[in-house]
């Protein structure tokens, strides 16, 4: 696998793929080879079909995850090995589209107030105030907070796109207190790692996940709450407050407006403003069975 791994890495790097994509593609090809205990260049379509079925049936992976695995294998065979790839033999799975969980504004306040530490409180406030993805939030630096223009610069987001989001006055006050609490010298990362928050590297995404989970448990919030929940709350609550979809798209870093329209299905303001067709019917006072 060493020689093939090198070739795969070179092809991915030549195309300037992101570090996360390179990591997931290499992992997928290695996992495929381990499954059959054979170099992947000796495996064919029948092995890919069997592998795909096992990912669903035995490993119970989601359609999105299986799609990424297939994309990695397709890249390996078509770009690295220069072989043909038949979509008819290895179709991409249909994705399941589920509406995300949304907390009310009152529940978001309860979640933030239930943070285990001031550090976690600042972290949760930042997630909700900016709509940043988990990975984007952990890589924020103090210099990304622009108090003069009242924006926060999110750099290297999904698709390697930079964007600016609004800086809340309430968050700015919290970040100023956070500045003095952080023991990091010099102060570089907004959320530095280790227990004393003095490392020269940021916290990892698992820390953010646990901060959300613990706060939800302490607040008595029964539905699942994780970092992306706060991102969805950001988009939905903005829409309910009157922001237009295009603005929300830019703030959230969506590549397509179609991604943003999901919040139309979640916004109470839009749902309540639309009357049910049942309310327009002129029904009799009783059903025929009651006469």
Among this protein's residues, is 263 annotated catalytic?
yes
Q: What is the pLDDT of residues 57-75, one digit of tens each?
A: 899 888 889 999 999 999 9
Residue 201 burial class via C-beta count within 10 angstroms: exposed 0-12, middle 13-18, buried 19 and up: exposed
CA 36 to mean position of chain CA atoms: 32
In this model, does residue 209 exceed pLDDT 90?
yes
From the candidates 25, 51, 128, 263, give the one annotated as an active-site residue: 263
* pLDDT score for 223: 83
Residue 274's pLDDT band, with cuts at 50, 70 and 90, is confident
Which sign, positive or negative, has the C-alpha torsion 179, 150, 155, 251?
Answer: positive
Q: What's the chain's average pLDDT? A: 90
Instruction: Report the distance separating Cα 273 and Cα 45, nearest Å.
Output: 52
Q: Nearest to residue 166, comparing CAs of 238, 261, 260, 264?
A: 238
From the candidates 133, 139, 178, 232, give the one annotated as an active-site residue: 133
Q: How many CB atoms lie within 10 A of CB 155?
A: 14
* pLDDT score for 194: 87
Among this protein's residues, is 254 annotated catalytic?
yes
* pLDDT score for 290: 58
Q: What is the pLDDT of residues 161-180, one digit of tens each?
A: 899 999 999 999 999 999 98
In this model, does residue 101 exceed pLDDT 60?
yes
Average pLDDT over residues 117-141: 96
Higher pLDDT, 28 or 87: 28
Using H for helix, E for strand and C for coil, what is the string for the chain? CHHHHHHHHHHHHHCCCCHHHHHHHHHHHHHHHHHHCCCHHHCCHHHHHHHHHHHHHCCCCCHHHHHHHHHHHHHHHHHHCCCCCCCCCCCCCCCCCCCCCCCCHHHHHHHHHCCCCHHHHHHHHHHHHHCCCHHHHHCCEHHHEECCCCEEEECCCHHHCCEEEECCHHHHHHHHHHHHHCCCCCCCECCECCCCCCCCCECCHHHHHHHHHHHHHHHCCCCCCCHHHHHHHHHHHHHHCCCCHHHHHHHHCCCCHHHHHHHHCCCHHHHHCCCCHHHHCCCCCCCHHHC
Residue 222's pLDDT band, with cuts at 50, 70 and 90, is confident
Average pLDDT over residues 139-145: 96
Q: Nearest to residue 231, comparing CAs of 268, 272, 263?
A: 263
Among this protein's residues, is 58 annotated catalytic?
no
Token readout for 52 is 């795909």
Residue 287's pLDDT band, with cuts at 50, 70 and 90, is low
Token readout for 225 is 């709450």
* pLDDT score for 110: 96
Lowest mean pLDDT among 11-25, 92-106, 211-225: 92-106
Instruction: Report the distance separating Cα 253 and Cα 154, nearest Å.
Output: 9
Share of the chain above pLDDT 90, in %: 66
Among this protein's residues, is 158 annotated catalytic?
yes
In this model, does residue 280 exceed pLDDT 60?
yes
Entry pTM: 0.80
Helix axes 227-240, 245-252, angle to 10 degrees: 160
Dmax of the chain from CA atoms?
Answer: 82
**Cα angle 51, 55, 57; round to 5:** 110
Average pLDDT over residues 246-259: 93
Residue 250's pLDDT band, with cuts at 50, 70 and 90, is very high
* pLDDT score for 41: 92
Among this protein's residues, is 153 annotated catalytic?
no
CA distances from 24 to 1, 19, 68 (A): 16, 9, 8
* pLDDT score for 157: 85
**How far does the chain reach from its first CA to its final CA, in angstroms?**
78
Residue 19's pLDDT band, with cuts at 50, 70 and 90, is confident
Higher pLDDT, 20 or 288: 20
Partners of 146 in the beta sheet? 151
From the candidates 69, 120, 163, 231, give the one annotated as an active-site residue: 231
From the candidates 158, 187, 218, 270, give the one annotated as an active-site residue: 158
Among this protein's residues, is 270 annotated catalytic?
no
151-154, strands of its sheet edge to edge: 145-146, 151-154, 163-166
């Amino acid at each position: 696998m060493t020689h093939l791994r090198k070739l795969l890495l070179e092809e991915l790097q030549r195309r300037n793929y992101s570090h996360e994509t390179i990591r997931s593609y290499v992992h997928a090809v290695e996992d495929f080879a381990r499954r059959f205990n054979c170099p992947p260049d000796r495996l064919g379509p029948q092995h890919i079909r069997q592998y795909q079925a096992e990912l669903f049936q035995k490993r119970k992976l989601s359609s999105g995850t299986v799609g990424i695995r297939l994309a990695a294998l397709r890249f390996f065979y078509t770009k690295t090995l220069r072989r043909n790839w038949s979509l008819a033999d290895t179709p991409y799975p249909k994705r399941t589209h589920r509406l995300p969980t949304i907390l009310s504004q009152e529940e978001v306040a309860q979640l933030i107030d239930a943070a285990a530490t001031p550090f976690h409180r600042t972290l949760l406030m930042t997630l909700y105030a900016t709509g940043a993805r988990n990975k984007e939030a952990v890589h924020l630096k103090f210099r990304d907070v622009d108090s003069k223009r009242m924006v926060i610069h999110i750099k290297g987001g999904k698709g390697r796109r930079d964007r600016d989001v609004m800086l809340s006055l309430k968050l700015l006050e919290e970040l100023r207190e956070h500045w003095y609490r952080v023991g990091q010298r010099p102060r570089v990362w907004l959320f530095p790692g280790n227990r004393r928050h003095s490392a020269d590297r940021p916290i990892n995404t698992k820390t953010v996940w646990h901060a959300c989970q613990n706060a939800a448990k302490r607040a008595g919030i029964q539905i699942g709450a994780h970092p992306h929940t706060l991102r969805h709350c950001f988009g939905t609550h903005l829409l309910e407050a009157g922001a237009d979809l295009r603005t929300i798209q830019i703030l959230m870093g969506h590549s397509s407006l179609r991604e943003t329209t999901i919040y139309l299905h979640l916004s109470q303001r839009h749902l309540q403003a639309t009357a049910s067709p049942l309310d327009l019917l002129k029904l009799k006072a009783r059903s025929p069975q009651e006469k």
